[in-house]
Homo-oligomer: A and B are copies of this chain.
Amino acid sequence: MKDDEAQVEAANERFYRAFESLDISTMEAVWAHGDHVRCIHPGWGLLSGWDAVRQSWEAIFQSTREMRFSVSDVRPSVDGYIGWVTCTENILSDVGGRVGVTAVLATNVFERRGDGWLMIHHHASHIFAAAARDDS
């Protein structure tokens, strides 16, 4: 089980390196390509199926000059053929010339495929620091 969790954590890390690459073929290699894959970018609506998910990455990569992730609080879980991770994405980005630093929480789901793990779901959402302090 520990090995499985380490593998899922590695797949999660590979996703963020693919995101940083801003290269669509690198991102393609991280994902399963079926109708069952889904993706929720921060503030976006649900994207369902690989074609829609792939198009979203193309659009993001085209509008992004640079993006660097420092991923923290990575918590992998595995049960059978499904692995899921929650983590905090600490992001330094340059989108359209605007440099920003932001923190995003992500839930990433992977499926076991042969001896590797492919992403089937990415749900990312902004943390509002004040709300977290007030309510928790």
Find the B residue at minimum CB distance from A40.
B105
Inter-subunit contact B131/A44 (CB<8 Å): yes
Partner of A121, one of B56, B107, B128: B107
Number of interface residues of A (CB under 8 A): 41
**A36 CB–B CB distance under 8 Å:** yes
Partner of A56, one of B48, B82, B84, B135: B135
Give the copy number. Answer: 2
**A68 CB–B CB distance under 8 Å:** no
Q: In whole angstroms, how far apart are the Cα atoms of A4 and B119 in the complex?
A: 22
Quick one: given A56-B135, A59-B135, are A43 and B82 in contact (CB under 8 Å)? no
Q: In whole angstroms, how far apart are the Cα atoms of A44 and B88 in the complex?
A: 12
A61-108 contacts to B, CB under 8 A, are 73, 75, 77, 79-82, 84, 86, 88, 105, 107
Q: A128 — which chain B residues lie within 8 A by C-beta?
A: 43-44
Q: In whole angstroms, how far apart are the Cα atoms of A36 and B5 in the complex?
A: 13
**A46 CB–B CB distance under 8 Å:** yes
Task: Produce 1/0 per residue, A98-136, CB < 8 A to B.
Answer: 000000010101010000000001011111100110011
Q: In whole angstroms, how far apart are the Cα atoms of A44 and B45 in the complex?
A: 19
